[in-house]
Amino acid sequence: MQLLNGTGFQRLESAVQAANLRQGVLANNIANNDTPYFKRSSVAFESLLKNEMNGSTPTLTGRRTNVKHFEIGPSSQMSEPRVLTDQSTAMNNNENNVDIESEMTQLAENQLRYNAYIEQLNYQIKMKRTAVEGR
């Protein structure tokens, strides 16, 4: 029985992983605020997921009974977060492009997103537990 393998649950799991990755990237940006020639990085996930969900991908998928079969329709893999480095800007005279206020704002926003994702995961688990236990 695979209760937690639904597409919605996998998307939430990917979102939590992206938030964790974003936390590390933002912490690295903040730590290197005064490092000469350091270029800030960011994580792209939500836009990739939105493009995947709103894209022109077909909804019909084929069932693979052998690993040698071709995949028909959209792949079952979820979008993976990507770390992007901004090489085009400079904020300081030392060619560093980290804006500490912006990074701290993004850190707070990421914390709120992470909390919302965890709450949604807990709610889904609670609902499935209720369905299974019959309470």
Q: Which of 59-63, 67-71, 93-97, 120-124 has the lowest mean pLDDT?
A: 59-63
pLDDT band at 1 (very low <50, low <70, confident <90, very high): very low
Q: What angle do CA 100, 106, 109 make, to 5 degrees?
A: 145
Alpha helices per DSSP H over 7-79: 7-31, 46-54
pLDDT band at 77 (very low <50, low <70, confident <90, very high): low
Q: Which pTM does this prediction carry?
A: 0.72
Which helix (H) or strand (E) segment holds residue 126: the answer is helix 100-133
Q: Which of 37-41, 84-88, 89-93, 115-119 has the lowest mean pLDDT?
A: 89-93
Q: Which of 1-5, 68-72, 109-113 has the lowest mean pLDDT?
A: 1-5
Q: Are 97 and 40 in contact (CB under 8 A)?
A: yes
